Amino acid sequence: MGLDFTAIDFETANGFRGSPCSVGLTKVRGGKIVAEASWLMRPPANYDHFDHHNVRIHGITPADVAGQPRFGELFPEIGAFIGDDVLAAHNAAFDLGVIRSALEVSGMPGPAYDYVCTVMLSRRCYSLVSNSLPFAAEEAGVPLVNHHDAAEDARACAGILVDIARRNGANSIAELYLSLGLSMPRQHAFDPASGGLSKPSLAAMAAASGSGVAPVRRFQSGWPEEGLNPDPDPDAEPGHPLYGQTVVFTGQLSIARPEAKQRSARCGARTESRVTGRTTVLVVGDGFVAADLRSGRLTGKARRVLELHERGQAIEVLSEGEFLQMVGGPHDGSSGATNLCVPVAAS
């Protein structure tokens, strides 16, 4: 076996994962890129509104996809390109969740996929203050000029995985996971006739039918309410990116901090209210992006994280967008009562 896989990246129209508007794919054989593909698409019907926040990130507008086929029409081509490959994605829980939720609301079946997450691998194999795609790509020596262009992001993800395999002397994905003592996760096949729907899809379908309302929290000035620090859920999925982490929040978030803490705890994380020697993840609001680590537009907590990282503490910074991709977007649940951190492979 060689180092063979397909890297994938989705961009979505809104906070629901099942609203893909663009996808990029990079096929790797023997550690070399051999084929690439990308498509613009309309998200599934009834889930195709474009949120300003998403458009601001990726620049794709309703006009850009107006004449394109919907996800359900394109998925046979996407699936044919992937074939039987292992899928690689940077924050794979999000991208595999896009496939699953988009299939669910489209009423279409989908195959099972073995997959790897380059965020998780980056955390294990690099020592970065941020494991966001631009930072990990830079560490891997992969140029990433236009972040959030799905084709470029998929190519960068592929380069990161190739670099991590090389550093670990692995000639295949199986060898890499064996060397790191990891088990490869799997997303099960989905059959709309018998498969249960995922909780993000159920919440989105309820909102679309009018029986549920996805909350949009207005920005409020002043010091955010911290709330209590709940205990980690003992039944959380150990493979989740936040499992076992100690998380602190800073800046204004689009959801209340108590809700963010509850979502983190359901994913197996412990939350605290200030940065200490125990902190492993800092989530930064106020529109922060990873590039701000270089520009200096940081809160006091973020500066403290940089100091601790320079001293050798294993700690990283996440933007709110990266955090919400991990725990479920602001429109994926009703009031925080829904567990959005179920394994991607669960039905």
pLDDT of residue 224: 64
Residues 6+ apart with CB under 8 A from 308: 275, 277, 279, 315
DSSP element (H, E) containing 278? none
pLDDT of residue 1: 63
pLDDT of residue 194: 84
Cα 110 to chain centroid distance, Å, stands at 20
3-state helix vs strand vs coil in the chain, percent to 5 = 35, 15, 50
**Rg, C-alpha atoms of the chain:** 19
The reported pTM is: 0.81
pLDDT in tens, 14-30: 989 999 999 999 999 99
User: Which residues of the chain are under the pLDDT cut of 70?
Assistant: 1, 211-224, 296-297, 329-347
CB 22 within 8 A of CB 150: yes
Q: Of 1, 93, 73, 68, give the one whose Cα is nearest residue 323.
A: 93
CA distance 43 to 39: 12
Coil/strand/helix, residue 248: strand
pLDDT in tens, 178-224: 999 988 999 999 999 887 888 888 888 888 877 544 444 444 444 56
